[in-house]
């Protein structure tokens, strides 16, 4: 359930942004390191559990590619289009929408990336990067249990996205819009959807062999800064 509301609300806005430098050098730094160690231990335990299964299911590479394409077109592309619109970059927003339409109509609903084959490409984006392009500071870095590292800005942007867009999108299936208590306890389906959108591109691009908390944090922040610069450059 949204890692208990993003631990909660990313530690209440990292205590309302209260001295990011002091917080990250003190209690927040200790919390982050403890959560990073816990997340790594959970990941290693899950991997060991999967490895212990006597019969391993092998998924063909082409199926993996098709699944990744479908996820990207269904979740990442609309978020990218929205993010460029928020950043007032109409050209890239329209290109992202074109990608979505091409893959939906000509790529078997998104299983095949026809847009890239036709040269219709745009760097993926998310709301945190759109806010960065507007000059919103990143705030302190927070490691969320199970979900991993986020800056305060990016974490709150993710929460706003899932609470204000993804969850209401399934409301017709539920019969009504979510109430306040429902928004504060996102169901597992919403969490799965959020984890599959743009922020996962960051995680996949960071060297998976990195285990040191400081190295992972530095790589994440450096990558976010580089992506923000690309979005801000029009």
Residues 135, 113 share a domain: no
Residues 88, 196 share a domain: no
Residues 84, 14 share a domain: no
Residues 134, 119 share a domain: no
Single pTM value for the model: 0.72
Report pLDDT for 190: 44
Tell which of 93, 109, 124 closes a domain.
124
Q: How many independent structural domains does the chain possess?
A: 2
Alpha-carbon torsion angle 151, 11, 126, 189, nearest 10: 140
Please give the mean pLDDT across all residues of the chain. 76
- Residue 224 belongs to what domain range? 2-53+130-232
Short-list 148, 141, 150, 134, CA closest to 232: 134
Tens digit of each residue's pLDDT (9 = 90 or more) over 143-181: 877 778 888 888 888 877 776 665 555 555 555 544 544
């Amino acid at each position: 359930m949204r890692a208990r509301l993003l631990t909660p609300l990313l530690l209440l806005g990292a205590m309302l942004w209260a001295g990011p430098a002091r917080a990250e050098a003190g209690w927040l730094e200790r919390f982050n390191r403890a959560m990073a160690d816990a997340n790594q231990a959970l990941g290693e335990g899950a991997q060991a559990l999967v490895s212990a299964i006597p019969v391993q299911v092998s998924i063909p590479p082409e199926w993996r590619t098709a699944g990744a394409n479908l996820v990207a077109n269904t979740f990442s592309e609309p978020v990218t289009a929205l993010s460029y619109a928020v950043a007032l970059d109409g050209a890239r927003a329209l290109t992202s929408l074109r990608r979505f339409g091409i893959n939906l109509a000509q790529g078997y609903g998104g299983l095949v990336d026809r847009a890239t084959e036709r040269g219709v490409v745009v760097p993926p984006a998310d709301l945190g990067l759109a806010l960065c392009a507007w000059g919103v500071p990143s705030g302190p870095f927070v490691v969320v249990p199970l979900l991993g590292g986020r800056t305060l800005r990016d974490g709150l942007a993710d929460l706003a996205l899932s609470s204000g867009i993804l969850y209401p999108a399934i409301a017709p299936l539920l019969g009504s819009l979510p109430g306040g208590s429902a928004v504060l306890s996102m169901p597992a389906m919403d969490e799965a959807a959020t984890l599959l959108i743009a922020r996962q591109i960051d995680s996949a691009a960071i060297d998976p062999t990195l285990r040191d908390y400081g190295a992972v944090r530095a790589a994440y922040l450096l990558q976010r800064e580089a992506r923000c610069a690309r979005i801000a450059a029009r």
